[in-house]
Structure 1
Amino acid sequence: MSDEEILIKRLQEAGYAAREVEKATGGVVAIAGLVTLQDDSQIFAKTLLGPDRDIFPVEAAGLTELRETGGVITPEVLCASPRLLVLEKMRPRRDDERFWERLAHTVAALHTSTTAERFGWHRPGWLGRLRQDNTWDSDGHAFLAERRILRWLSEPLVEAAFDAAERQALERLCATLPELVPDRPPCLTHGDLWQENIVATADGAPVLIDPAVSYNWPEIDLSMLWCSPRPPASDRFFALYEEITGIDGGWRDRMDLFHLRELLSVIAHDDDDWGAAEAVRKIIAPFRRDGGPATV
């Protein structure tokens, strides 16, 4: 049975008269696509192979949190179970400066209106198909180190990718986080804000999908956009976001550091086909003390 047939079957079991699926591209976790129903209306749906997990219920909860707490436009959740997620249909975005300006206002409002006292979230989450530890912590540097960076070292593929000296360099970098990252309150973050998770409404307003939410520093979101492939017009997003939020001018210097979480996740998901391990080695090189490259 093809992926599309599996998705149609599960939709039909849930009461949706699915006729055909236009399979989505870009994701590595779920079978997903734009579904046309027998009455010619359309929905977006995803399903998972393998054992049931709460990935979709957590995703639905994250969409609700972003909408109700952060004022972000997210798709209406029509169904959320361990095997199936059904959302209202959204549209592709327009990659012009106007769209990215609107997104800057959206993300800036999210980050500035949701400041909190603790880092984390009220339930464990997911980044891709692997767990995201959201245990509450009042120490942002410890939270970033232990629950967003070092947590990946125990994943088998990450363990295999780096030698002892490289692991020690990563640990040494984490020990210096208080010197590298300003200490300030966390805010609600999307958590996986790369360009594939940004779509639009019918009138062109930004819509955020596929979150991995937590209360964290805003650089978690900025780094996903900054360090992942993105269109030239997105430069307008960063300029306007900086103007609106007044974020300190050193935020660009922290982008690679915050992106470590994503790079390690890519390796852990067996998706290292674009140099994630080498990118990690470049970031941690100044923290090596074994005679390796670029030590200090």
Structure 2
Amino acid sequence: MSDEEILTERLREAGYAAMRVEQAVGGVVAVAGLVTLQDGSQVFAKTLPGPALDVFVVEAAGLAALRDVGGSNTPDVLHASERLLVLEKMEPRRDDEDFWERLAHMVAALHTSTAGDRFGWHRDGRLGRLRQDNTWDRNGHRFFAERRVLRWLTEPPVEAAFDREERRALERLCAALPDLIPPQPPCLTHGDLWRENIVATGDGDPVLIDPAVSYCWPEADLSMLWSSPRPPASERFFAVYREIAGLHDGWEERMPILHLRELLSIIAHDDDDWGAAEAVRTVIAPFKRRSES
């Protein structure tokens, strides 16, 4: 059975009669696509061709938190189960300065209105298909070190990608986090905020999808946008965000360190790492040299 047939069958089981599926490209976890139903309406649907996981249930909970707690735009969840997620149809985003300015206002409001006193979440989540450890912790540096960086070192593809000295350099960098990252209160974060997880309403307002939510440093969200490929107009996002929410001096230099979590996740998923391993080596190079001196 093809991926499209699997998605169509699971839609039927959930009560959705699919007439046509335009399969989305670029995803590495789920089979997804824009679905035209028999009545002519359209929805966006995703399924997992392999064993059932809690990916979609966690995703739906994250979307609800971003909307209900953080005031962000998210698509309506029409169905969520271990096998299937159905969302209202959204539109592609525009990549002009006006759109990115609107996004800056929304993300800044999310970060500034949800300050908490603990890092984590009330349940573990997912980053891709792998589990995201969200165990509560009042120490942000320890939380980021143990649950966002070192957590990936036991994944077999990560073990294979780095030698002993490189792993020690990662550990040494994590030990130095209190000197590298200024104290920041936790806030509700999207957790996977790169350009492909930003779409739009019919009116052109930004909408967030595919979250991996937790209470974490706001700069962790910014690192996803900053360090991933993005259009030139996105520079407007950072300028406006800084005006609204403020940023500690040196934030640009911290972005590669905070992006380590995403780079290690890419490697752990054992797909094309898009140069992630070399990017990690660049970030940890000073700590490796220090260990060899």
Which residue number in structure 2 is paired with residue 206 of structure 1? 206
Q: Distance in 1 between matches of 2:7 and 2:254?
A: 40
Which residue number in structure 2 is paired with residue 185 of structure 1? 185
Counterpart amino acid of residue 83 in structure 1: R
1:267-286 mapped onto 2 (5 Å cutoff) = 267-286=267-286
Look up the SS of the partner of 2:259 in the other structure. helix
Look up the SS of the partner of 1:249 in the other structure. coil
Between 123-132 and 46-55, the greater mean CA deviation after superposition: 46-55
Which residue number in structure 1 is paired with residue 18 of structure 2? 18
Q: Distance in 2 between matches of 1:289 and 1:225?
A: 29
Which residue number in structure 2 is paired with residue 60 of structure 1? 60
Partners of 1:100 and 1:237 within 8 A in 2: yes
* TM-score calculated relative to the size of structure 1: 0.97
Q: Structure 1 residue 26: deviation in Å?
A: 2.0
Where does the alignment leave 5 or more consecutive residues of structure 2 unmatched? none
Q: Distance in 2 between matches of 1:252 and 1:271?
A: 28
Counterpart amino acid of residue 283 in structure 1: V
Look up the SS of the partner of 2:146 in the other structure. helix
Q: Distance in 1 between matches of 2:26 and 2:182?
A: 34
Q: Does 1:219 align with 2:219?
A: yes
Which residue number in structure 2 is paired with residue 100 of structure 1? 100
Q: Structure 1 residue 226: deviation in Å?
A: 0.5
Which residue number in structure 2 is paired with residue 34 of structure 1? 34
Which residue number in structure 2 is paired with residue 81 of structure 1? 81
Cα displacement string for residues 244-294 of structure 1 (whole angstroms, at most 9, x for unaligned residues): 1111121111100000000000000112342110100010000014887xx
Which residue number in structure 2 is paired with residue 240 of structure 1? 240
Q: Structure 1 residue 8: deviation in Å?
A: 0.6
Partners of 1:119 and 1:215 within 8 A in 2: yes
Partners of 1:111 and 1:188 within 8 A in 2: yes
Q: How many residue pairs get matched?
A: 293
Residues 136 and 164 (structure 1), Cα distance of their counterparts in 2 relative to 1, 3 Å cut: same
Q: Distance in 2 between matches of 1:107 and 1:143?
A: 22
Partners of 1:165 and 1:290 within 8 A in 2: no
Which residue number in structure 1 is paired with residue 153 of structure 2? 153
Counterpart amino acid of residue 255 in structure 2: M
Which residue number in structure 2 is paired with residue 6 of structure 1? 6
Look up the SS of the partner of 1:45 in the other structure. strand
Q: Structure 1 residue 243: deviation in Å?
A: 1.0
Where does the alignment leave 5 or more consecutive residues of structure 1 unmatched? none
Structure 1 stretches of 4+ with a deviation exceeding 2 A read 289-292
Partners of 2:190 and 2:221 within 8 A in 1: yes
Q: Does 1:165 align with 2:168?
A: no
Which residue number in structure 2 is paired with residue 45 of structure 1? 45
Between 263-272 and 199-208, the greater mean CA deviation after superposition: 263-272
Q: CA RMSD in A?
A: 1.1
Look up the SS of the partner of 2:74 in the other structure. coil
Partners of 1:114 and 1:187 within 8 A in 2: yes
Partners of 1:115 and 1:186 within 8 A in 2: yes
Residues 289 and 96 (structure 1), Cα distance of their counterparts in 2 relative to 1, 3 Å cut: closer
* % identity of equivalent residues: 75
Q: Distance in 2 between matches of 1:133 and 1:194?
A: 20
Between 192-201 and 50-59, the greater mean CA deviation after superposition: 50-59
Partners of 2:3 and 2:49 within 8 A in 1: no
Q: Does 1:253 align with 2:253?
A: yes
Q: Distance in 2 between matches of 1:47 and 1:10?
A: 8
Q: Structure 1 residue 186: deviation in Å?
A: 0.4
Q: Structure 1 residue 184: deviation in Å?
A: 2.2
Residues 290 and 253 (structure 1), Cα distance of their counterparts in 2 relative to 1, 3 Å cut: closer
Q: Distance in 2 between matches of 1:116 and 1:270?
A: 34
Q: Distance in 1 between matches of 2:39 and 2:138?
A: 51
Which residue number in structure 2 is paired with residue 117 of structure 1? 117
Counterpart amino acid of residue 126 in structure 2: W
Q: Distance in 1 between matches of 2:234 and 2:249?
A: 18
* TM-score calculated relative to the size of structure 2: 0.98
